[in-house]
Amino acid sequence: MTRHPNRAPATESLLMRRTAIALALALMPVLAQAQLYKWVDQNGQTQYSDRPPPAGIKGELVTKKRAAPAAQPVPAPGAPAAPAANKGGAAAANPAGRELEFRKRQISAEEAQKEEEKKAKEQQAKQENCDIARARLKSLEEGGRILKYDKVGERQYLSDEEIEKDKVPARQRVEQSCK
């Protein structure tokens, strides 16, 4: 390794340590897959090691790999459950039954969430309608000129009598919308 003229020796040492740590971490999965041996020694003690047993001692190779579970068909959501061998929750004891129960809970949770979202949207729309009705009533009660457009699109100002007449339905809308 060539020494960089601007780098201090301590920096090079730190760089070497970091490189060594990174290399060790990269090799850990390889070491974790090493073979494991099991044997009983002369004293009757069970020994485990990554090295084979000493000569003359019978040992066995222990594998860490687990057999993959057999693939079982997964019923479609809403499909009837397979009949249980015995009553009292036997369907939940087998993987297919547990999967079916999980899917049922998942579907019911999704439905509950959709229902909550629907209620929240309805509540928000109700609040917006209430705010609009209150704003309309407030503008009628504050006085001043109220403008509306006729069928042709021309501006017309409401008279005091028309404003008083519009207050009654505006109050009713506030009562209906703001319950």
CA distance 80 to 76: 9
How many CB atoms within 10 Å of residue 158? 15
What pLDDT, on a 0 to 100 scale, did the predictor assign at position 1? 53
Phi, psi of 60 (to 5 degrees): -130, 150
pLDDT at 4: 57
What pLDDT is recorded for position 75? Answer: 55
For the chain, what are the domain ranges?
A: 9-62, 90-177
Model pTM above 0.85: no
Which of 55, 29, 26 has its CA nearest to residue 41?
Answer: 55
Region label for 88, one of left (φ > 0), alpha (ψ between -120 and 50) or beta (otherwise): left
Three-state secondary-structure class, residue 62: strand
| 59 close to 48: Cβ distance less than 8 angstroms | no
Look-up of token digits 């960089």: 4
Helix 160-177, helix 95-142: angle, nearest 10: 160
User: Distance between CA 121 and CA 87 in Å, rounded?
Assistant: 43
The encoded tokens of residue 11 equal 């920096």
User: What would the two tokens of residue 17 be?
Assistant: 């340590």
Please provide the DSSP assignment of 98-126 as one string. Answer: HHHHHHHHHHHHHHHHHHHHHHHHHHHHH
* Residues forming beta bridges with residue 157, ordered by sequence position: 147
Per-residue pLDDT of the chain (179 residues; tens, 9 = 90+): 555 566 566 778 888 888 888 887 877 766 556 677 888 888 888 888 888 888 888 888 776 555 555 555 555 555 555 554 444 455 556 888 888 999 999 999 999 999 999 999 999 999 999 999 999 888 888 877 888 888 898 998 888 888 888 889 999 999 988 87
